[in-house]
Amino acid sequence: MSTALESLLDLLDLERIERDIFRGRSRSAVVPRVFGGQVAAQAMVAAGRTVPADRHAHSLHAYFLRPGDPGAPIVYTVDRIRDGRSFTTRRVVAVQHGQPVFHLSASFQTYEEGLDHQVPMPPAPDPETLPTSAERLRGYGHLAPEVVERFLETREAVDLRYVGEPPYGEFGAPREPHSQVWFRTNGKLDGAVDEPLLHVVLATYVSDMTLLDSVLLAHGRGGWAVGDVVGASLDHAMWFHRPFRADEWLLYDQESPSASGGRGLGQARIHTRDGRLAVTVIQEGVVRVPREH
């Protein structure tokens, strides 16, 4: 396990203050606010720790209410909405400085046999044949080295590889609003930390990294790191269909069906390397182009 992955796992390991109250730490991001994937992942940890071990996460629905302060702890309060025979529902509110910054509802289910079908996995090259994020970003001469290194620092716990060119190049012609990335943790998960909830939590963390990139591709924008657009997650939903491991390659196939009103929509499917549909993701975010004065 890499040092960066150990640090991420430590970040996601919340302190229990009371029966249903937890406290989490933050770390700096590229922008001066808490990374949305971190808050969503920590909220899932809080919810999962109030649920019986035989009930596994099958969905989450979340709203990002205010920018998180990376210099302050985040308190997560869990409301035990329902404990049914098959399903368990939890509501989590994340609070900083006396105000809610994030709201999540999550549902957990006992294992059941049932109907089974899925869409096929889209074609994609093997992840080992693709350049790493560091190799790609350091190849862009128009990006300041300090921006690149700060950007990579937020992703060093994850081996994330774009299938095509990410929207970090200079302005170009609009492209199809479709993006693919392979990802896995930068190191194997084993021992006491290796549990089903952790893989869900890590996928939740990564899912917020690249989903809105497909919005930028449709308009030939240079990307978040360039500063020609301003973006922030508004809401986020995930459905967990089948078991998967976050330390094995996962294909994140993403597209944007719409952008309007200063918002962009991203939707995606996550497949395991052997083709099983593991997760469906939908997110809407603020995507604004700064006005020139």
Residues carrying an active site annotation? 208, 233, 283
> In this structure, are strands 263-272 and 250-260 parallel, antiparallel, or unpaired?
antiparallel
Classify residue 76 as exposed, middle or buried by CB count within 10 Å of its CB (0-12, 13-18, 19+): buried
CA dihedral 5, 6, 7, 9 (to 10 degrees): 90
How far from 8 is each of 24, 68, 90, CA to CA, in Å? 12, 18, 24
Residues 66 and 100: beta-carbon distance below 8 Å: yes
Cβ within 8 Å of residue 235, ≥6 positions away:
61, 62, 63, 64, 283, 284
CA dihedral 236, 237, 241, 244 (to 10 degrees): 20
- Give start and end residues of each alpha helix (H) in 192-243: 196-210, 213-217
What are the residues facing 251 on neighbouring strands? 182, 271
Measured CA to CA, the distance from residue 217 to residue 221 in angstroms comes to 7
**Nearest Cα to 220, choosing from 168, 291, 172, 289?**
172
